Amino acid sequence: MASARGEFTSRFGFVMAAAGSAVGLGNIWGFPTQAASNGGAAFLIIYLALAFLLAYPALMAELILGRHAHANAVNALRKISPGPLFRRIGVSTGIAGFIVASLILSFYAIVAGWMIAFCLASLSALLGMDEASTWLTSFSFTRNVIFMLLFMGLTIGIISEGVRGGIERWSERLMPALLVTLVLLVVYVLTLDGAMEGLKVYLLPDFERALSPNLIISALGAAFFSLSLGVGTMLIYGSYVSDKENLPVLGGMVTLVDISIAVLAGFLVLPAMYVALHQGVEIFTATGELISEDTLIFTVLPQLFSTMGFTGIIVGFTFFFLMSIAALTSSISMLEVPVAYTIEEHGISRKRAVWVIGGVIAVVSTVILLNFAELFGLVIAATTRYSQPILGFMFCIYAGWVIDRNALLQELKKGNPGIEQGLFWKIWPWYVKVVCPLIILAIFAQTLFG
Ligand code: PHE
């Protein structure tokens, strides 16, 4: 059955595709910016704690449910439910994930479009086309729509090829190149004046700040966003993994890669902010807030590249090119959520499903761009800060309470005959049942009443 739906051809293919989904704008545009506006190190600590103590176990819940059911989130939750009530709640959760994934894609495509525009701006600068370069880097509705559409077109094109042809091929090439570029940029930025100040902000925590409800819920959203949780993406990817694979190890690898890249990006973006400040670029308002969170890295990174002279143009091109690809390997995993559901549920062709759904999302993106000041931040907060953790909570409940316990344990044993001796076996089954839901509830309670 699994092979009829497509399956990852290798362990490497799965890790790269899941890491490709996880690593994206969340790591380089989202996490560092949020760290910068939430006291740096305080945010980093809470983010790391939540990533390992909550997001990793929640990721395992999705992967295991997915492989067990061999289906998209809606069908998976329906299949494992014992009675009509749980079935109904499960289906609603899956459909909510489908809607949230689509909404995430609607703002994601906008930001990814900026990445493409900045990549082409470096190319134009290289060719001496300064006017084009200026247009590409200035914030206009026309530019934003054109590049959002271009990005959506690319996503649609890849997704219509299906799992094997599309996702795996793109994911396997990107990660090493992105990692090397990031490391080189971090080494470079740390040699510049002002960088140390940024490093201090990133590494020296202000503990009082670490406990503010606003910071904790932002870090929760950032961790869930970065690991692509709560919308059914990872559940679907789990459903494409063969029974021979050891899921806890694979999930652990994906988490490590994802979190490392986010932390590394922080070592680039926060120092780069203070380097830019040192060079006279306005980053903060008079009250110490960031002037523009959404576009921060599009100010400070080009400023950093400009200190490298001609080389900077090439570095800028490489960086924004790799970021565009990283965004694509994430966006295809978002679009796969509604597409897999529509194909499996309504039996229409993949091509048709992809074009119709992709088209609707592009319309939503356009509406956001038309009302940028009102909608952009709102959609991001509603999806990543609230919806993803709440839906992640539901997946933990289904993995912990609803699915037949025996079936869950059998699933864990697949691909890992010695698991009963390990820590994962002893801890995870009750941890996902009790601790994960409680952490999420506690954070929401603290935000509401704290
Ligand atoms: N994890 C992706 C990123 O960091 C975003 C994402 C969210 C992807 C939800 C899929 C589903 O960019």
Burial 299-326 (b: 16+ CB within 10 A, else e): bbbbbbbebeeeebbebbbbbbbbbbbb
Calculate how far, in angstroms, residue 23's C-alpha sits from the geometric centre of ligand 1: 7
Q: Can you list the domains of the chain with their CATH numbers?
A: 2-281+292-449 (1.10.4160)
Dist. CA 287–CA 280, nearest whole Å? 17
Calculate how far, in angstroms, residue 431's C-alpha sits from the geometric centre of ligand 1: 24
Helices (H), 204-284: 207-210, 213-226, 233-239, 247-278
Give the mean pLDDT of the chain.
Answer: 92
Give me the phi and psi of 116, to 5 degrees please: -65, -40
Contact 91, 74 (CB under 8 A): yes
Give me the phi and psi of 36, to 5 degrees please: -65, -35
Q: Give pLDDT tens digits for 195-249.
A: 999 999 999 988 888 788 999 999 999 999 999 999 999 999 898 888 999 999 9
Measured by CA distance, the residue closest to atom 10 of ligand 1 is: 228
Q: Express as a percent the part of the chain with pLDDT over 70.
A: 94
Map tokens 């409940």 to a residue: 397
Dist. CA 355–CA 361, nearest whole Å? 10
Measured by CA distance, the residue closest to atom 9 of ligand 1 is: 228
Q: Is the CB of 262 under 6 A from ligand 1?
A: no
- ipTM of this complex: 0.98
Alpha-carbon torsion, ordered 229, 152, 373, 447, to 10 deg: 0
Q: Give pLDDT tens digits for 33-77.
A: 999 989 899 999 999 999 999 999 999 999 999 999 999 999 999
Map tokens 């100010």 to a residue: 299
* DSSP code per residue over 334-383: HHHHHHHHHHHHH---HHHHHHHHHHHHHHHHHHHHHTHHHHHHHHHIII
* Beta pairing partners, 290: 284
Handedness of CA 426, 427, 428, 430 (dihedral sign): positive
Average pLDDT, stretch 353-380?
Answer: 97
Calculate how far, in angstroms, residue 191's C-alpha sits from the geometric centre of ligand 1: 32
Question: Is pLDDT above 70 for 311?
Answer: yes
Q: Is the CB of 104 under 6 A from ligand 1?
A: yes
